[in-house]
Amino acid sequence: MEHIVFLTGRLAQPQLERVLSGIEPPAFSWEVREIGLQVAALMTADLIRRRVQPPVQAQRIIVPGRCRGDVAALSAHYGMPVQRGPEELKDLPQFFDRAAQPVDLSQREVAIFAEIVDAPRLSVEAIIERAQALRRDGADVIDLGCLPETAFDHLEDSVRALKQAGCAVSVDSMNPQELLRGGRAGADYLLSLTQDTLWIADEVAATPVLVPRRGGDEESLYGAIDALSARGRAFLADSILDPIPFGFTASIVRYHRLRERFPDAPILMGVGNLTELTDADTSGVNALLFGIAAELRVAAVLTTQVSQHARRAVREADWARRIMHAAAQQRALPKGLSDALLTVHAKHPFPDTPDEIAATAALVRDPNFRVQVSAAGLHVYNRDGLRLGQGAFELWPQLGLDHDAAHAFYMGVELANAEIAWRLGKRYVQDQPLDWGCAVERASENLDAWCAPGTTMKHE
């Protein structure tokens, strides 16, 4: 059985030992070493090298998740793997389960068409800028949305500029002449052709997206598919997804019938009618729709970012397709694979109970404030005692920081974050930003680099 040494600080040692004792069935033997540091988050690779002398009798060393420094160099120094554990001790059981079963989220099958809905009103330069942002978020095809009764004189220039920038391009119009212009300029896809406009496919090389003549007219869609299949032409077929509560369920049934009728036909599903026209967090809507897409083996999804509440739709779609692909490949539920789509809530928001926090608070002997959150509220403690409240304004008068502006500002920020986390059910970690999943861009953090300690830890 593998033997693992866990390095920690004095305050975290009792809780770490409790968590490790509770892992069932035990997959390894373990030893906890407190290396003469009160706060585990202050541990660095240099400090470990100084205080932990080789040889270490183990097969692996686990250091705190916030440990800074070059852990690869520590691995070479001790002659065994040295790894960062999770940021929260209570996540250790999941950490070991995931370490044993790594999940590859780099793979995906669904292509994302991201529509620029107001392309005729944008300059070519603005279209390129918008396209580059969409591609960074995960778009595979940039869809130029044409507008009714609106001239798009620079359509050809836009298609050519996008192609020169390395983009795959689709042109989306109800006007056959605009579709022809886009196809002749080099567009890769044309949205959308009906059974009556299939002649456009004979004029250009672009792959057409086929739709019914009108909503629910499945036979006309099937006829268009049969016609292009007979010609040996590539295509995508779209049954049209209707909004809630105006036929959404029936439209899902139509997609299912389309798949049954044509088991190998590439299907495109436009999801904007759900993400844009439903006042709900789009991360959850995308998760559900891409789950349906995975079951139907949909080849491509068309999405938009028009409404302000849908401004992360492409990024969410990218995560959703990867998560659902991994779930389908593993024949597992889309659970525990990634927290990227958990933008508002956390699966395990309160890892510590009030009693456990109180036990840690009783060990503190310095004036620096620690902030933790449990189901009961916000806990703030230092050597002067433990305070419990359910909001920043409730706790503020108990801190005695009226004449310490810098510390007061810091604690105001931390208590506000803690209150938000408590009210929403999010994980709170002092000195760290709240995790909003893929809804908020978060700068990548290099833990191999040294960083100054947080405000409340500067005296350690």
Phi and psi (nearest 5°) for 267?
-110, 140
**pLDDT tens string 147-163:** 998 999 999 999 999 99
Q: Which residues contact 288 (CB under 8 A, 6 or more apart)?
A: none
pLDDT band at 330 (very low <50, low <70, confident <90, very high): confident
Kindly tell me if the per-residue pLDDT of 446 is higher than 90. no
pTM as predicted: 0.82
Q: Is the pLDDT reported for residue 171 higher than 80?
A: yes
pLDDT for res 25: 81
292 closest CA partner among 239, 245, 220, 229:
239
Query: Cβ contacts of residue 259 below 8 Å, gap of 6+?
Result: 265, 267, 296, 297
pLDDT score, position 41: 82
Question: Would you give the end-to-end CA distance of the chain in angstroms?
Answer: 37
pLDDT tens digit sequence for 55-95: 999 999 999 988 989 999 999 999 999 999 988 888 888 88
In 3D space, the residue among 237, 331, 349, 337 whose CA is nearest the CA of residue 287 turns out to be 337
CB atoms within 10 A of CB 146: 22
If you write DSSP's letter for every residue of 59-120 in order, what string do you get?
SEEEE-TT-BS-HHHHHHHHTS-EEE--SSGGGHHHHHHHHHS----S---PEEEEEETTGG
Count of residues in the chain: 460
Give residue-wise pLDDT tens across range 363-386.
Answer: 999 999 999 999 999 999 999 999
How far apart CA 154 and CA 337 sit, in angstroms, is 44
Show Cβ contacts of residue 449 under 8 Å, excluding neighbours closer than 6 positions.
68
pLDDT for 460 equals: 39
